[in-house]
């Protein structure tokens, strides 16, 4: 085993944050909320486009699980920046499902379709009122866990 | 907590156009107006080679070269001091096949979506205040992955010269008496 070389690095960022001036975290968050409100509407449209794309993939059933995985991650990529937890959890379950399926070289379009329907349902309501869909997301995880790999199961006593 | 990020030059990289736009807005809110934006790792490499950057924030999942490979390139082949630029990676889903890559790429922090702007600001601050040393070994270049230095695992000899011995030796001298301890702590007036 080689000896690790350890050394101290002082980044410019560490010097910059402590300079006089700047703003409090509270003001920064207020400013971010203002800046992001201009992006919210377009972001929601983009998430909607991804869901339409997923629906289309389910209808055609011609692509592999990789393609579904890519679109599902696109949902989290955008919705995740707005802290849309329930929608992201549902999309995360779809990512996990398709990741497991492709690893096991399997295809299950009905499991994918259930996820897409649930995603559309959650997307259809105001993001502030999505907590009611938590049991739906729990159900999606049950579908995904059908493809749990043996190594992921708890070891037997 | 007070932060000043006005002078920070940020490199943002995301292949998702809308996500890039939102991330840019988020960092503008933090006061970071000096931003370079890239839609793929190759563009980001070009920026790193020609501009001074203070912080990199990048999406993990990108076609051709993902965020993990980019940071690995930066740490091992990055030009000059750019190799040590703090890098935060953002991930949507942690695919099983990428868990090791995430651990070994050399990023300062990997942040999972969804997150709130407050969490992101905390992470930027944490990275700025990060006092971990850099490690260079044959298989890894990046901040020390031991966030808390608890020494080598039980029963193993540490690889670092600073790792302490597992055995506590016998006392070299007799214990100090209470008078000696008190006099060590006794405040004294000093005439300058």
Residues of B in contact with A65 (CB under 8 A): none
Q: Are B18 and A44 in contact (CB under 8 A)?
A: no
What pLDDT is recorded for position B166?
Answer: 64
pLDDT category of residue B181 using cuts at 50, 70 and 90: confident
| Mean pLDDT, residues B53-67 | 94
For an interface test with A, the pick among B93, B131, B159 (most A C-beta atoms closer than 10 Å) comes out as B93
* Distance from C-alpha of B12 to C-alpha of B77, rounded to nearest angstrom: 20
Is the pLDDT score of A84 beyond 90?
Answer: yes
Buried b / exposed e along A83-120 (16+ C-beta atoms within 10 A):
ebbbbbbbbbbbbbbbbbbbeeeeebbebbbbbbebbe
Q: DSSP letter for B89, please.
A: E
CB contact under 8 A, B114 and A11: no
| Mean pLDDT, residues B70-77 | 95
- Indicate the average pLDDT of chain B: 88
Is the dihedral angle over the CA atoms A118, A124, A126, A132 positive or is it negative?
Answer: negative
What pLDDT is recorded for position B173?
Answer: 82
Q: Are A73 and B67 in contact (CB under 8 A)?
A: no
CA nearest to B29, candidates A5, A74, A81, A146:
A81
Q: Are B134 and A7 in contact (CB under 8 A)?
A: yes
Range of lowest pLDDT (A21-25, A31-35, B22-26, B153-157): B153-157
- Which residue did the predictor score with more confidence, A91 or B171? A91
Residues of A in contact with B31 (CB under 8 A): 22-23, 28, 31
Kindly report the pTM of this predicted structure.
0.84
Query: Cα distance from B15 to chain A (closest Cα, Å)?
Result: 10
Residues of A in contact with B8 (CB under 8 A): 12-13, 16
What pLDDT is recorded for position A123?
Answer: 97
| Mean pLDDT, residues B101-114 | 90
User: Which class for B180: exposed (0-12), middle (13-18), buried (19 or more C-beta within 10 A)?
Assistant: exposed
What residues contact B78, with CB distance under 8 A and at least 6 apart? B48, B85
* Distance from C-alpha of B2 to C-alpha of A22, rounded to nearest angstrom: 7
pLDDT category of residue B165 using cuts at 50, 70 and 90: low
Is the dihedral angle over the CA atoms B72, B75, B76, B80 positive or is it negative?
Answer: positive
Query: Cα distance from B169 to chain A (closest Cα, Å)?
Result: 26
What pLDDT is recorded for position A33?
Answer: 93
pLDDT category of residue B184 using cuts at 50, 70 and 90: confident
Range of lowest pLDDT (B10-24, B85-99, B165-179): B165-179
Residue B167 phi/psi, 5-degree rounding, is -90, 135
Peptide bond into B114 cis (omega under 30): yes
CA nearest to A149, candidates A96, A110, A85:
A96
pLDDT category of residue A157 using cuts at 50, 70 and 90: very low
Is the pLDDT score of A154 beyond 60?
Answer: no
Question: What are the pLDDT digits (tens) for A35-83?
Answer: 999 999 999 999 999 999 999 999 999 999 999 999 999 999 999 999 9
């Amino acid at each position: 085993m080689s000896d690790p070389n350890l050394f101290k690095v002082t980044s410019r960022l560490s010097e910059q944050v402590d300079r006089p001036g700047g703003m409090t975290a509270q003001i920064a968050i207020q400013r971010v909320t203002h800046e992001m409100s201009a992006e919210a509407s377009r972001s929601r449209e983009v998430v909607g486009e991804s869901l339409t794309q997923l629906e289309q993939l389910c209808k055609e059933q011609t692509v592999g699980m990789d393609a579904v995985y890519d679109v599902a991650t696109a949902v989290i990529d955008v919705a995740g920046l707005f802290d849309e937890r329930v929608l992201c959890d549902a999309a995360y379950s779809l990512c996990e499902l398709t990741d497991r399926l492709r690893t096991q070289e399997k295809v299950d379009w009905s499991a994918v379709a259930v996820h897409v329907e649930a995603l559309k349902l959650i997307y259809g309501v105001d993001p502030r009122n999505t907590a009611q869909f938590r049991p739906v997301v729990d159900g999606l995880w049950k579908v995904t866990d059908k493809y749990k790999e043996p190594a992921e199961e708890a070891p037997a006593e | 907590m007070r932060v000043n990020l006005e002078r920070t030059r940020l490199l943002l990289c995301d292949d998702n156009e809308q996500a890039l736009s939102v991330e840019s807005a988020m960092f503008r809110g933090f006061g970071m107006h000096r931003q370079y934006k890239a839609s793929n790792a190759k563009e980001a490499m070009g920026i790193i080679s020609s501009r001074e950057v203070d912080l990199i924030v990048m999406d993990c999942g990108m076609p051709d070269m993902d965020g993990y490979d980019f940071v690995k390139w930066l740490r091992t082949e990055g030009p000059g001091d750019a190799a040590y630029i703090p890098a935060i990676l953002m991930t949507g889903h942690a695919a099983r096949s990428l868990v090791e890559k995430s651990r070994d790429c050399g990023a300062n922090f990997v942040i999972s979506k969804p997150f709130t702007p407050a969490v992101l600001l905390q992470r930027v601050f944490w990275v700025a205040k990060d006092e971990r040393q850099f490690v260079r070994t044959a298989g890894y270049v990046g901040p020390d992955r031991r966030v808390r230095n608890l020494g080598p695992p039980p029963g193993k000899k540490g690889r670092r010269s600073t790792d302490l011995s597992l055995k506590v030796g016998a006392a070299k001298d007799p214990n100090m008496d209470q008078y000696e301890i008190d006099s060590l702590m006794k405040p004294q007036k000093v005439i300058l």
